[in-house]
Amino acid sequence: MKKIDLNKAELKNVTKNERLYTFSKDGGMLLFKGEKGTICSYGCNKDEHVVFIVTNLGEYSTSVTLNFWDTDHKHSDITVKIGLLPHVETVVSLKEESAEGGVLFLKRKPGRLKTVVLGTPVKLKNLTGFAFGVAPSPTDVTLEIKDAYITDTEPEYKVPEVKLVDTLGQKKITDWVGKTKNEEELKAHLIAEFEKETVVPESCSPYGGWLGKKFEATGFFALEKDDKRYWLKDPDGYAFFSAGLDCVGVDGDCNLTGIEAFCDYLPDKDTPGWSKRRFGDEAFFSWHKYNLYRTFGENWYEAWTKITKRRLIEWGENTVACWSDMQFIKNSNLPYVHILRGFPRTTKNIFRDFPDVFSPEYKEESEKWAQQMEELKDDKNMIGYFMSNEPNWAFADGLNIAAVTLESEEKFYSKDFIINFLKERYGSIESLNNAWDSCYKAFDDLYTPVTKELLGKTALRDLMDASAEMIREFIKAPALALKAIDKNHLNLGMRYAWVANKEVTAGCEYFDVFSFNCYRHDPYGSIQHIVDLVDMPVMIGEFHFGALDRGLDATGIQGVASQEDRAKAYRYYMHRCASHPYCLGAHYFTLNDQGYLGRFDGENYQIGFVDVCNREYPEIVESAKKTNREVYLVANGNIPPTDEKQTEINSICY
């Protein structure tokens, strides 16, 4: 074990009082500088762990960071964000090889919330420094740092005996307007919701489209363009702007592995609420589900289905969006979008989840994968399908996947493609050497690992062009396999997290709609950016807004000041989407609040239309009812989009 001397840290936006460190709401860090490859004389080994023992003394959850550099100290190359609950002594540890960026989301550890690795991968041998910090937050954040060290063994993740959630799964230590007081109140509210009758909004087609505009019916959802804009049209031909909710299901599964002591009460393991997920022996429990079971008994699912279908119709949410319960989709007979499972991989991936796309294996796996659409190809309620969501490789801004391929010692088929690509571009090795300022004797020399840091601008530009062709093949093989099976439904694309450069859009010609997830307060500029790159209609797969005034203490990716501001934010966002002539709709993430103790990876955001007790947030619900009627008038040019904006705050997310 090597102790990290906190007194040697350079404090940036941090004030210190013995073991207490207060970080500015704009973010701050303890910066440790060193010579190249030394991590400030503490060592540099992929098998070592950087460890901080930390207690978050604030009222809310917070996002701490570990940053790594291999260049200067103005901007970190890799930032690892880790969520912390309040008032819980937590072991924050990170294996140093994580700085190389091979994995985007790290496995959750007891006491911690979500951990995500962002930025451009670095080489451990080149590291010049690291920092421990806090991301921007709505308030200053005070941490007690008990210890800090580097060790070659993974630490033990001890958690204190502290009760954080009550018997209903709500945050225990605070109160708020709308908090359910006890089980009797829970049951009375849910039974009253169950007994309500459905009220269908006016001007609504049977599929939830708009009776105010009709095109030629095609029997399935399809694209249409009039003199103003692109539209979706439902199977009967009515204009359809897709307003949807992701994760429509009895959600809320908390990963309680190692932290069951945080709960006031948990039922026996054979009670509805417990589940075994795909994560091995980890323990998952859903208070969302258990609260329904304790109210309705064995018929809890049927009761939830009736309540939820009525709500979606009344709210004007005409699309059951990604990761929703397929049984609910069948039972409710509502329009939906489908996201395919398990995007094709190869035995050896090039970087994160980017396959060896020119291998015969990739084409074979694509054809097998596409078979899952066979049972859905004739479903008239399906608007279309997403091929995948937020490919992990695309989180690395400016990623030159061809350069990464040449840097590898693996014998990828894609390496053959890159070398042939360069042969066609230059004709002779002499021409390539002149352009690259290199001294290769033959093109086959490029099979020997090529160090990216030694490549010049021309070489990197050539390889970025090759990267675009690799990304095109990444899309082409599975997209064609899907169309061979399903010619009825729209290919809605990949739901990219963002598009850092034009190369990422390669292959979009195989989509019918380009989709991306847009966590902004105003989506219009992002929509226009994508349209400028692809010139095709777009759909937004995710957005949300969270506040800190009720129930949970993390806002999610976009933070606002209150529930009233969530209502304003939803309306402003959807109006701005509808006002863009290329936008076909947007889907809000999610129906339910996430569990206070964190879902499978540790996210615990206040982002739902309903809370853990299945109680509506009335402000955003009423906003949705109004907004989802207005979007057609905005889209058709009958009314201007609203200019009423929400009050924004720094977000708490990880």
Task: Examine the pLDDT at 276 and tell me if it is beyond 80.
Answer: no
The pair of three-digit structure tokens given for residue 351, joined into one six-digit string: 């970087």
pLDDT tens, position by position, 407-422 = 999 999 999 999 999 9
Query: According to the model, what pLDDT value does residue 39 have?
Result: 56
DSSP assignment string, 191-255: HHHHHPPP-PPTTB-TTS-EEEEE----SS-EEEE-SS-EEEE-TTSEEE-EEEES--SS--EEE
> Do the Cβ atoms of 30 and 141 come closer than 8 Å?
no
Report the share of the chain in percent with pLDDT over 90: 87
Q: What CA–CA distances, in Å, run from 248 to 68, 292, 323, 346, 531?
A: 38, 15, 7, 31, 29
Q: Is the pLDDT of residue 516 over 90?
A: yes
Among the listed residues 509, 512, 504, 488, the one whose alpha carbon sits nearest the alpha carbon of residue 584: 512
In DSSP notation, 186-202 reads: HHHHHHHHHHPPP-PPT
Rounded CA separation 187/291 (Å): 8
> Is the separation of the CB atoms in 174 and 607 below 8 Å?
no
**How far, in Å, CA of 307 to CA of 223, rounded?**
32
Q: Give the residue among 239, 314, 208 at the shortest CA–CA distance from 584.
A: 239
User: Six-digit token pair at 57?
Assistant: 């003394």
- Joined together, the tokens standing for residue 377 give 């190809």
Average pLDDT over residues 11-18: 97
Cα–Cα distance list, 23 to 62, 64, 144, 242, 550 (Å): 11, 10, 11, 42, 24
d(CA 472, CA 466): 10
Read off the pLDDT of residues 219-275 as tens digits, 9 standing for 90 and up.
Answer: 999 999 999 999 999 999 999 999 999 999 998 899 999 999 999 999 999 999 998
Q: Who has greater pLDDT, 48 or 613?
A: 613
Position 47 confidence tier, pLDDT thresholds 50, 70, 90: confident
Chain-wide mean pLDDT for the chain?
Answer: 95
Instruction: Summarize pLDDT for 295-353 with one digit per residue, the tens.
Output: 999 999 999 999 999 999 999 999 999 999 999 999 999 999 999 999 999 999 999 99
Q: Say what the pLDDT of residue 74 is.
A: 63
Can you give the pLDDT at residue 251? 87
Identify the pLDDT of residue 44.
59
pLDDT value, residue 129: 83
Residue type for position 639: I
What pLDDT does 314 receive?
97
Phi, psi of 455, deg, nearest 5: -85, 140
Residue 608 CA to residue 605 CA, distance in Å, equals 8
pLDDT at 48: 87
Tokens representing 473 are 């093949």
Six-digit token string for 260: 């069951």
The per-residue pLDDT for 275 is: 85
Rounded distance between C-alpha atoms, residue 239 and residue 217, angstroms: 10
pTM, to two decimals: 0.95
* Pair of tokens at residue 469: 């062709």
| Paired strand residues for 37 | none
What tokens does 305 get? 């289905």
Residue 278 has pLDDT above 80, yes or no: no
pLDDT tens readout for residues 432-488: 999 999 999 999 999 999 998 899 999 999 999 999 999 999 999 999 999 999 999
> What is the pLDDT averaged over residues 85-96?
93
590 preceded by cis ω (within 30°)? yes
Output the pLDDT for position 396.
85
Determine the CATH number of domain 2-151: 2.60.120.430
Strand partners, 133: 29, 65
